[in-house]
Chains A and B, each alone.
Chain A
Amino acid sequence: MEGRIIVVTSGKGGVGKTTATASIGAALAMEGNRVAVIDMDIGLRNLDVVLGLENRIVFNIVDVVNKKCKIRQAAIKDRRIENLFLIPASQSDNKDILSTSGIKRTAKTLKKEFDYIIMDSPAGIEKGFENSVVAADEAIVICTPDVSSIRDADRVIGLLYARSITPKIVVNRIIPKMVAKGDMLNHQDIMEILSVELIGLVPMDEQVVISTNIGLPLVMQNDSKAGQAFKRIARRLNGEIDLPIEIPISKTGIWNKISQKFGLTK
């Protein structure tokens, strides 16, 4: 069976695309899938740092697309998580260096070798975004509970629709206390505007920064709420569509998670 190419994108920068790519990729691999996470943010490489693999880079995605090396040579195998591979971005080139036909050819090969190929898209809707979505089968749009991020996510949803991709939404950096007080938009308000399928709600979690700094995948930290949320997103992607979406709550230490079942929120 062919693998699925999933692009992680957002329009707005800094909302958690790279964090989501690393976490969902790692979680899918922990579920037993062969996973490649690919950094498409050419010139602003990040994914390697988040995964703690930055000191093992030899080749990168630009080398693969431009036939300077084989996928096998560029893919860095994670030593902690079986079946997780990273193809990093190049740090020196710019986004114009990748040709559409080169990306499509590479994608074909990737689909033969992996179950999931997760592409970390750069911010914006220009060339880098185009490069990331040109070969994608599916898309995850990350947004945060703020007006400008929602507007950008909405724009990106429209652009993906135009390419016959119906994306799924992850709302990241939710601060339950603020939502409870009405100081932060709740996910219902957000989904009312975006109105595509919601696939996960991820709370603000200081473990994200810690895990990035020590290069340990978030989903390997069992006490990370964001990590747990990303794990459930991975399970939903992996076929457990009935897994309820948990709404982050502020009461720490108490396991009275209020969960809500969404089915197909259209």
Chain B
Amino acid sequence: MNFENNLSVKLKGVGDGFWVTLNPLAKEAKLKKDISQLFERLKHLAINAKVVIDIGDGVGYDELISNIGLFLKEKFDVGFVSQSPRKKSKPLKRIRQRDLSKEWAHHRSDVLMIRGRVRSGQKITTKKHIVIIGDINPGAEIYVGGDIIVMGKLMGQVYAGYPNNDKAIIIAIDFKPTQVQIGSFIARELNKNSSEIRAKFACVKKSIVVIQDYLKANPFKDIPWPEVI
């Protein structure tokens, strides 16, 4: 949090009220002084206004918050004071700790790993993710509950996230499938006659199966730590 000008308080107008961000580490007197400085500028606008008090990630400041609330009601006639809803996500610190402690050592990932050519008329079905080291020929079918990774040429029919996991993905080193389905969505244009060999990546975005160059899109570059899927 950034508190400018040595103030322990920030004030923002939101809708029909005000959002007050406090530095809970500051002394109560200092907070009240800074609040007064900001609220005096509001003049009559503060009267009967709704005020939300936000202390960020801090915990155990309920008394401070209710004191500040009372202070605002008495001194500036604000109407209604509430606390900002707690964020649902785990504190960043704990996520980091978990990942540093090697989450993958405690979780089993459900992956079926296969080597060799999958031929026409063959059908591989699994609830897991699948990694195939080899080619998938035209006429072959892969139906999996999770993701599909093909270390080879994908020419057959593939269905990731079967039957309705739209978050599943498909990656192939040479992506030339006859048909692609992810969750409840079927890919429309596949351009399988292109002769160039490119690693591609398919996922569902806004109810459409999007196929992108895998290296260019680099879809997982923003996941800061390895996580188990």
Contact = CB atoms under 8 A, between A and B. Distances in A.
A157 B137 CA distance: 12
Interface string A142-168: 000001001110110111000000000
B121 A158 contact: yes
B135 to A, nearest CB: 8
A158 B138 contact: no
B139 A151 contact: yes
A205 to B, nearest CB: 28
Size bin of chain A's contact surface: 10 to 19
Nearest to B118: A158
A59 to B, nearest CB: 36
Interface residues of B, number: 11
Contacts of B135: 193, 195
A158 B137 CA distance: 11
Contacts of A157: 119
A152 B119 CA distance: 10
A250 B219 CA distance: 48
Nearest to B139: A151
Q: Count chain B CB atoms within 10 A of each CB in A150, A151, A195 and give the residue with the most.
A: A151
Contact of A151 (B117, B138, B153): B138
Interface in A190-222: 192-193, 195
Interface of A: 147, 150-152, 154-155, 157-159, 192-193, 195
Given A151-B138, A158-B122, 13 more contacts: A151-B120, A151-B139, A154-B119, A154-B137, A154-B138, A155-B119, A155-B139, A157-B119, A158-B120, A159-B121, A193-B135, A193-B137, A195-B117
13 contacts: A150-B138, A151-B137, A151-B138, A151-B139, A152-B120, A154-B121, A155-B119, A155-B121, A158-B120, A158-B121, A159-B121, A193-B137, A195-B117
Interface of B: 117, 119-122, 135, 137-139, 153, 155
